[in-house]
Structure formats: C-alpha cells, structure tokens
Structure 1
Amino acid sequence: MKRTVLVCTVGAAVLLGPGAATAGAAGPYGAVPAAHGAPKAAYPVGEVVSDAPLHVRQKPTVYSDVVKVLRPHQRIQLNCQKRGGWVDGNPLWYRIQGYNGWVSARFVHNLQPVRSC
C-alpha cells in the first residue's frame, strides 16, 4: 500500500513539474502547506460584488473624481485598506494596486486579509 502511494506522488510530481508536491498540494490528511520560501501572491485579491459597474475613486470618498470603472465580478489586487467616507454603513475603502485609486469595501469582497495603509 505505501509503495503505491509513493509511486502516485512521484508520478504527480513528474507530471506537474518541480515544486508541485510542496506548493499547497493535497496529502492524505488534507492540504500540505507550501514550502518555506515558496512565492506568494504580492497583493491580496478582491472580487467586485456589485451588480453594476463599480467606480474607482481618486480618494476614499464618494465625492472624489472617478479614475476607472470596474466590471461586476472582476477580480482585482488590493494594496491596502483605510477608513474613508461611509457607503451603506461601511467606512472601509481599498486602495487598488495598479490603478492609483480607491473602491468602497462595501462592493468588494476581499478573498484574503488586507493590510492597513
């Protein structure tokens, strides 16, 4: 039995390439943590949860100029978060990586923790 498992693991590693067996692969007891020093995402990912296009603002307030528009369900990278103008009871805003702008956390679901600015 152990020999079969070892052969399957080695075979999967050969098919998937170097690092495949250690980079979050599932083992017999669940997910195996990524190897020390393995690359990790540079920025947390968020997903737009509004049904309409979402405005990216120059500052974290609804009164600021629009610098870009995001599509519903679009995934974006979140640089950091801070308090700004309240939107539907939520004062948090996310700074968007690469767009030099802010979106209300009310309309973006963070899929990973986001650091404070």
Structure 2
Amino acid sequence: MSTWQEFVAELTRCDVLSSSRRLALEEWGEDIPPTVLFGKLGKALADHVEELDPETRAHIFQVIEGGLARNNAALKAFVATGLLEALYLRASGDPGHWNQVRDYLGPLSIAYLVRWGKLHQ
C-alpha cells in the first residue's frame, strides 16, 4: 500500500466503507478531494463500527495504523486530517460510543489525536 488510492482500495474491502466511498463518488465525482473522501470514510466507520465483525474491525484499524506508519506524507495527512479527525468528531458526540471506538485505535492513531489536541492520554 504505497498510495492513498491503494489505501482506500484496501479499506473499502469492507461493505460499509465501500458503500460510503461509492456515495461520496456519486456526490463529488472522480475528482473528489482525498481529504473529503477520507472524512466520509471516517464518519461511516464511526457510524457502523459496532456492526462489523471483530475480524473486519481489526483489519480496518490495522490498515489505518499502516497508513500512518508509511513513509508517505500525503497518505499520513489524509488518514490523520481526513479519516481520524472525522472518526473522532462523529464518535465523540457520545462518550460511551467514543470509548468503544477508542479501544480499537492503534498507538499511532491515538498519538495523532493527542497531538491534534482532542484526546487526552
């Protein structure tokens, strides 16, 4: 996974995120700004994370961590400022829901949200 397009392809192997991607493309077209696409994926993940089977959920959050671990500044930025920020903003409206989502995040994701100033260790 060396490009953001490959990242999205891997992430959208999950039906919920695939549907979100499809709807985003219908709304914006193929020229959708990557940060907008990643934001829509983050919101969809927040909305449907509990519906995912444990294996799929683990895979998605591993893919997210992998995106942050890559030596690709653009991918890291899209994952952080698009997906993670949208995931946090959507899920944090309900503290109980956010606590469940937070349990799935890896250390790089948590570290980003702490640096962003929205999450306290």
Higher strand share: 1
Smaller-chain TM-score bracket: under 0.3
Higher helix share: 2
Instruction: Output the TM-score relative to the length of structure 2.
Output: 0.24
Greater relative CO, 1 or 2 (CA 8 Å, sep 6+): 2
| Larger Rg, first or second structure (1 or 2) | 1
